[in-house]
Structure 1
Amino acid sequence: MRYLSLSLVVVVLVATIGLGWVFDFVYQQYSDPKQSPSEDKIEYAEILTKKMAVALSSSNNANAFITAWQANDGYSLQIDSINSLALPAPLLSDLRLGKSLNIESDSDLNIHYAIPNSSDVLILQIPYTIEDNKKFINRYWVTSLFYLLLIVLFLLWAKPLISRLINLRETAKAFGKGELSQRITVGKVSYISDLESEFNHMAQRIEDLVSDVKLLSTAVSHDLRTPLARIRMGLDTLSEEEEPAQRRVYEKRINAHIDDMVELVETLLAYARLDQSMLAIEKTSIDLFALTEKIIKNKQKERPAEHDKSILLEADASLAHCFAVGDNTYLKMLVNNLLLNAIQHSKTTVLVKICCRPNSLVLVVEDDGDGIPEDIKVDLFKPFVRSKANKNKGHGVGLAICKRIVQWHQGSITVEKSEQLKGAKFIVNLPSVEN
């Protein structure tokens, strides 16, 4: 919207100042400099009327002078009583004080001047000449052309704006009808590029939420049905069993299935609340290397059974002055989920690399596991998507949470095959700042 405001200011300045200067320059170039301006003619006529009025005040035959004057090139004189003029009192007062009064009509200009020592007024009638009319018409056409070009200039400015707004309206209508894949192509020169980008961001988020709802409903119907069936079968078996030791075994199994259900429900609720909680994220400068190093140390302490798996951390020299811009809690969740995923699928080694790029930090997590199966590669970052060959405990939400966190930080996350370790390789780009 800043571009819209700036372009509007530029158009207004160009239209009013630029066009005005151009027309003024052209008019001065092509107007006749030898012709006296009409203001000067009026001034001369006022002086002439005053002098004649003074002369007539001392003349004994004013009417003869008036009669003889009528033959002079259309300029006519007449004498009227000042009391017979239908004029407001202030104007009559000005006349009596010796001021001239000019009254214009469609065809002429009447200059009034009171005759000294008399109650009469001398009136000089000056008809408009063809030349004056032509000059008036020329000025009229120049003014009309100025406003016409002004309107054209504003229409040229408004045309792309109207076009983009119509495109936005049509896309919004299609999106409202359920075509959730509709997006606006943000033009390089667009007054509302910020609005279009925000619309695309909103549309993408809505599409993701709708997709998540579908996946959540599928997960609930599938993942909850299995432990419920096991619990039902366990309860039926338990009611038929009379041996105390065997009953305790069945009770433990039922409790384990209940724990799985509780864990699944908590996972569903946590993922459903993720979007709402991330609306209030507070972005600060985060030392991603120190954060990752701390998480790795905690992982090694929490999982003593996996000490045989080595977690390596590498960073380039420029990282000392490069910090990620984000929320500490969610960046910690991001790194933790990526490490947990890599540890579960690795055989012996997990490698973490952090490097600094212009305006971004790159976090790379790779392992020496079997890599990403082709059957889930496209839907890898969707919730509750798990490979059939994956025997690790979980519900397939960790990478979906990573995707959502990266999106909220205006970053990106991709996956590919690791050239070094031959397993999976996750690459995260986050906004950064130099300190």
Structure 2
Amino acid sequence: MRKLIVSLVIAVLASIVILGWSISQYAQQHDSKVASVTTSERIQALRLAGSSFAQILDDQLGYPPTNLIDTWNEHNQEQLSLISEAQFPLPASLKAQFENDGQLLLQSDEGVSLHYRLPKTHQVLNIQTQLIPPEDQGLDLNKMYTALFYTGIVVILLLWVSPLIKQLLNLSKATKSFGMGNLQHRIKIQKSSYISEIEQEFNGMADRIQQLVDDNKLLSRAVSHDLKTPIARLRFGIEALEETDNEKLKLKYFSRLNHDLNSMEELVSTLLSYARLDQANIKPELEPIELNSWLQTKLASYSMDKHNLIFNPDADPIWVQSDPMYLSMQVGNLLSNAERFGQSTIKVQITTTEHTVILSVDDDGKGIDEQEAAQVIKPFVRGQQSRGNAGHGMGLAIVNRIGHWMGSPLTIHRSKELGGASMRLTFLINNNS
């Protein structure tokens, strides 16, 4: 996580520097071109004026030029001065150029200066200007603008990146806390979060892991509890077999041992069925199913000796998306539950609303209290009415687990007509079929 944050910050800062430098260079070149044109025009004008002025001063032999120079200096920024040629020392290369061309342009930190040679009077006319060379013009201003640009971009991007860094740090802390065993830790998701999808996936993963751990703990406790009784009976039965020579008692003990073995086998089979439902790689193969005809076929193959089975289909064909195999497991467990707790009548009914269809399995037993409804769908949890009945408390847990997969959740109510429990599966109607 730290590596991700560092790389993110480096990438942002690098993009800022590159972008700012590019814009700064472009602006500086553009300003230099404008400044260069303006300065060049002024220098060219001064050259022409200086040449004419030098010609006039050189032709006025014997006349003092002081008044003319003073008048110029009073009305112009460019200052004129007149010195003797001996007072204007130059290097040999520049001196030869000055004597040949008669004029010379020099640049310094103070500005550009123009110099003209007056051959008749052996003097030099100097024009001192404050024109800065184009490459130095506006240098300090460009630096200030560049600094302001960098500062502004950094502040804006840090304001944007800081919530992301905070969210990534929270995600890292939540992951470490969850890995240390705090399975209840979840991330508070905000609407403005940049990584809300990742946070939701983390919370979903945490919910699934916690559910798996809780199921394993529950299964471990239930197995240790439910297996103790048949194992103890097996031990007593074997000891009794060893101590008796009576053939009738041996047959009786063998019958009890077989019954205990069958109970253990049923428990192991139930555990394996529920364990398979916990595998994350199992996905239901949903397909369109016409619920009326499917239930008619399913109930026709389901035999009941002590109960009257009533089926009330819907008047119109009802299509739902479901997996036939897992739907059969759901309905089979609901029918077994109703047969175990019902007294004489079981009713299977289909009712529809605008967008949903409800498959209900009702019985005329004692029903399930509202306080127990949320508990009996957990594995190995049995309601008060189930005390003394056969079973391990896994049927409704399997129905509920499959319902979460296929989008057909289980709800528990009280049957208004029969008075017992009403187990209901809710499906979305498939209008495309």
TM-score bin, normalised by smaller chain: 0.5 to 0.7
1:396 and 2:393 equivalent?
Answer: yes
1:227 deviation in Å? 1.0
Partner of 2:160: 157
**Deviations for 1:148-185, whole angstroms, at most 9, x for unmatched residues?**
44334333433443443344344434433433233334
Aligned CA distance change for structure 1 residues 132 and 43 (closer, same or farther; 3 Å): closer
Aligned CA distance change for structure 1 residues 147 and 267 (closer, same or farther; 3 Å): same
**Deviations for 1:93-116, whole angstroms, at most 9, x for unmatched residues?**
xxxxxxxxxxx99x58989xxxxx
1:247 and 2:241 equivalent?
Answer: no
Partner of 1:355: 352
Note if contact 1:346-1:367 (Cα within 8 Å) is conserved in structure 2: yes
Query: 2: CA distance between counterparts of 1:363 and 1:185?
Result: 37
Note if contact 2:35-2:137 (Cα within 8 Å) is conserved in structure 1: no
Note if contact 1:416-1:425 (Cα within 8 Å) is conserved in structure 2: yes
Q: Secondary structure at the match of 2:320?
A: strand
1:140 deviation in Å? 5.0
Note if contact 1:352-1:365 (Cα within 8 Å) is conserved in structure 2: yes
Q: Secondary structure at the match of 1:393?
A: coil
1:213 and 2:216 equivalent?
Answer: yes
Matched residue type, 2:33:
E
Task: Supply the RMSD in Å over aligned alpha carbons.
Answer: 4.7
1:375 deviation in Å? 7.1
Aligned CA distance change for structure 1 residues 206 and 150 (closer, same or farther; 3 Å): same
Query: 1: CA distance between counterparts of 2:295 and 2:79?
Result: 104
Note if contact 2:244-2:250 (Cα within 8 Å) is conserved in structure 1: yes
Matched residue type, 2:154:
I
1:265 deviation in Å? 1.5
Q: Secondary structure at the match of 1:250?
A: helix
1:127 and 2:132 equivalent?
Answer: yes
Query: 2: CA distance between counterparts of 1:330 and 1:389?
Result: 27
Note if contact 2:320-2:427 (Cα within 8 Å) is conserved in structure 1: no
Note if contact 1:350-1:368 (Cα within 8 Å) is conserved in structure 2: no
Query: 2: CA distance between counterparts of 1:109 and 1:195?
Result: 63
Matched residue type, 1:172:
T
Partner of 2:309: 309
- Is there any run of 5+ residues in structure 2 with no aligned partner, and where? 1-11, 21-29, 59-68, 81-87, 95-106, 114-128
Q: Secondary structure at the match of 1:383?
A: coil
Query: 2: CA distance between counterparts of 1:228 and 1:425?
Result: 36
Matched residue type, 1:310:
I
Task: Give the number of the structure whose alpha-carbon radius of gyration is greater.
Answer: 2
Matched residue type, 1:175:
F
- Is there any run of 5+ residues in structure 1 with no aligned partner, and where? 1-11, 21-35, 85-103, 112-123
Give the number of aligned pairs.
Answer: 358
Partner of 2:227: 224
Partner of 1:279: 281
Q: Secondary structure at the match of 1:179?
A: coil
Query: 2: CA distance between counterparts of 1:410 and 1:186?
Result: 25
Query: 1: CA distance between counterparts of 2:110 and 2:402?
Result: 81
1:190 and 2:187 equivalent?
Answer: no
Query: 2: CA distance between counterparts of 1:381 and 1:150?
Result: 57
1:78-89 alignment to 2 at 5 Å?
none
Note if contact 1:284-1:327 (Cα within 8 Å) is conserved in structure 2: yes
Query: 1: CA distance between counterparts of 2:304 and 2:255?
Result: 26
1:48 deviation in Å? 6.8
1:344 deviation in Å? 2.9
Aligned CA distance change for structure 1 residues 212 and 241 (closer, same or farther; 3 Å): same
Aligned CA distance change for structure 1 residues 144 and 421 (closer, same or farther; 3 Å): farther
Aligned CA distance change for structure 1 residues 296 and 380 (closer, same or farther; 3 Å): farther
Query: 2: CA distance between counterparts of 1:46 and 1:80?
Result: 24
